[in-house]
A and B are shown apart, each in its own frame.
Chain A
């Protein structure tokens, strides 16, 4: 029974990891930009959910409707206004730029919200779902369902819509797609906007689960990195598989080696994958 409970814990945790990582993976895969602001976007999304619930009484799943367009606009503006200027430069330049922007955003949040931990307490609480001695908290299930739904929507947008096909085309071959008439800068901005929107939505959902503080940004970013490497860059299903894999591995790692080693295990996996299978579980070799 304990093993099944641990597996359940791992799957739920893994879905949250997937939700954290999918936007990050998209931006990295398509733009070749490692967006170090991703963790701060997530935290900002959590604050949005917290504010919407406490000031307007909006449940987090309703707050998604505000977060998605708001963060899309924010991401779009940052890409168009700032990142686009150095997009052709080597990856280190954009990395440094997003690092700087992240410092600014994170410190602005520290000033605005202070470093105190806040928590979004749903009243009445959602409770838990239990079958026999197995228990799963409902808020995690809700977050998981919405996270998977959002990911599915993103996947469908990429597969079915004109813009989505253009994004995939740019990811595969920027120059060829430009020759085909794709407006590359605008696709970049849309992709970055989508990445930011996914981060903001992830933040809204995670607000139900984790204490909110600007200093949590680093932990989210760290997980996003690991999931991307495990799942494969720029691939939406990859982020889901990578997230689930990491969640389950960490849960069983805690069971086998003790909870103190779960973080070690996730970074150990990162190194192992970088050596043995750098393209990740679902990534294709050769894409930058």
Chain B
């Protein structure tokens, strides 16, 4: 008797639970009609986690601002936004699966690319297949966009837009600089950037005395640096991510390698890089796609660079860098395209993105025929007194270029 009671009790609980599950799911379906879902596959754990967390902060800030303002205007109604994150653990093949899962299972309306050029390129095949407009917030290499895809857009200009102004500044301010040593991480973006640097430098008559790659996960650069030292270059140009570059600079100090010009991309734009190196970061030059010192007025939800910086500081108690800003602007661009299209129809939103020509807090945005932005002038900067100071373009210049990195 007792057993029977228990069993029926259990059955009741089970049916209640089943009802709850059904209600939740139907809840989601009705919910989904009022919410625009954006998929964001990110390497939230693993080697690329620091960068992924920046992207997440950028997307979250945008979503928060949109929802605070009542949502995105689609035709006559306002729809809130929701960002669906999937962690692909810094594993590129998994980034592709994550993108596919977001589209087919989570039913997102639009997609942000995974981190970096390599993963963005890999995942773009999936979004193209399903016809989902996708914005890559952190992919600069031209090879990502040269596949003839219609649905992929990117907010970073090609790599040569970083290296050309750098070479121009150095040629102008330090005509004695002739011998260039390049050390590149053997990875899509850092290597492509190093190759662009080689091209830009050769075009301007500089001599490349050393060009070597180092493997991902390299724990020691001493031999490569000894070889560089033996060449006594005037300009050391190293590419990689923040951990690589911190280690390279530390080991340069260990071997007493000094040069008039030392350039590192991409790390010095991050405050963590400056904090990790202290005084030895002084006078390292770099370039990125945006800097908080920019002063753009925009038609996007953030309105201006100043306002973006302010909102970011309020939310995260730190200053934004280009990864944060690029992620936020990617959301803002989707928002403008959707509002202009007046519908969530993916093809129409895609067309609006392709047609877009607007000022934003990130700078003027216009995508070229491949989908990659063509309208930006990326800033060149240098670490002076523990701060990243903009050297170029002239409109936002904060300091003069200084020689000698110790």
Q: Which positions in A face B, CB cutoff 8 Å? A: 2, 5-6, 9-10, 12-13, 107, 110, 114-119, 121, 125, 128, 130, 135-137, 139-140, 209-211, 213, 215-216, 218-219, 222-223, 250-252, 254-255, 258-264
CB distance from A44 to the nearest CB of B (A): 17
In whole angstroms, how far apart are the Cα atoms of A251 and B213 in the complex?
15
B230 in the interface, Cβ–Cβ < 8 Å?
A: yes
The answer to whether the Cβ of B242 comes within 8 Å of any Cβ in the partner chain is: yes
Shortest B115–chain A CB gap in Å is: 13
Candidates B212, B272, B277; contact of A258 at CB < 8 Å: B212
* Chain A CB within 8 A of B224 CB: yes
Cross-interface CB contact of B219 among A6, A116, A125, A219, cutoff 8 Å: A219
Q: Does B142 interact with chain A (Cβ within 8 Å)?
A: no
Say whether B223 faces chain A, with CB atoms less than 8 Å apart.
Answer: yes
Contact A259 B212 (CB under 8 A): yes
Question: Are B256 and A261 in contact, with the CB atoms below 8 A?
Answer: no
Residue of A12, A107, A135, A254 near B224 (CB, 8 A) is A254
Counting residue pairs across A and B whose Cβ atoms lie within 8 Å, the total is: 112
Cβ contacts A to B, 18 pairs, < 8 Å: A5-B226, A9-B222, A9-B226, A10-B223, A114-B50, A114-B53, A117-B242, A118-B276, A119-B275, A210-B247, A211-B247, A218-B217, A223-B219, A251-B220, A259-B212, A262-B218, A262-B220, A263-B215
- Chain A residues near B242: list those with CB within 8 A: 117
- Min Cβ gap B366→A in Å is 34
| Any A CB within 8 A of the CB of B84 | no
Taking CB atoms, residues of chain A closer than 8 Å to B314 are none
Q: Take A117-B243, A128-B256, A260-B186 as given contacts and tell me if A250 and B220 are in contact as well, using a CB distance cutoff of 8 Å.
A: yes
Closest A residue to B226 by beta carbon equals A5
The 0/1 profile, CB within 8 Å of A marked 1, for residues 254-277 of chain B is 111000000000000000100111
| B246 neighbours in A (Cβ, 8 Å) | 117, 119, 211
Interfacial chain B residues near A2, Cβ < 8 Å: 226-227, 230
Looking at the complex, which one of B221, B227, B254 makes contact with A137 (CB distance below 8 Å)? B254
Shortest C-beta distance, B172 to chain A (Å), equals 32
CB contacts (< 8 Å) of A107 on chain B: these are 45
Contacts A119-B277, A121-B278, A260-B213 known; A210 to B219 CB distance under 8 Å? yes
In the complex the two chains form, what is the Cα distance from A107 to B46 in whole Å? 10
Instruction: Please give the distance in Å from A12's CB to the nearest CB on chain B.
Output: 8
User: Is B49 located at the chain interface by the 8 A CB criterion?
Assistant: yes
| Residues of chain B with a CB closer than 8 A to A211's CB | 243, 246-247, 250, 276
Q: Say yes or no for B22: interface residue by CB 8 A criterion.
A: no
The answer to whether A9 touches B243, judged by C-beta atoms less than 8 angstroms apart, is no
B214 at the interface (CB under 8 A from A): yes
Of A117, A215, A222, A262, most B-chain CB atoms within 10 Å: A117
B47, CB-defined interface residue at 8 Å? yes
**Do B46 and A215 touch across chains, with their CB atoms under 8 A apart?**
yes
A263–B224 Cα distance when bound, in Å, is 13
What's the nearest-Cβ distance from chain A to residue B273, in Å? 8
Within 8 Å CB of B251, what residues of A?
137
B224 — nearest CB in chain A belongs to which residue? A259
Distance A14 CA – B5 CA, assembled complex (angstroms): 70
Least Cβ–Cβ distance between B382 and chain A, in angstroms? 21
CB neighbours (8 Å) of B256 from chain A are 128, 130, 135
Chain B contacts of A258 at CB under 8 A? 212-213
Write out the residue numbers on chain B whose beta carbons fall within 8 Å of the beta carbon of A259: 183, 212-215, 218, 221, 223-224
**CB nearest neighbor in A for B230:** A2
A residues less than 8 Å from B221 (CB atoms): 259
Q: Which residues of A contact B227 (CB under 8 A)?
A: 2, 254-255
Q: Is the beta-carbon distance between B276 and A13 smaller than 8 angstroms?
A: no
Contact in complex: A261, B215 (CB < 8 Å): yes
Contacts of A116 in B (CB 8 A): 50, 272
Report how far A219 CA is from B46 CA in the complex, Å: 12
Which residue of A110, A210, A218, A251 contacts B223 across the interface (Cβ within 8 Å)? Answer: A251
Residues 41 to 57 of chain B near chain A (Cβ within 8 Å): 45-47, 49-50, 53
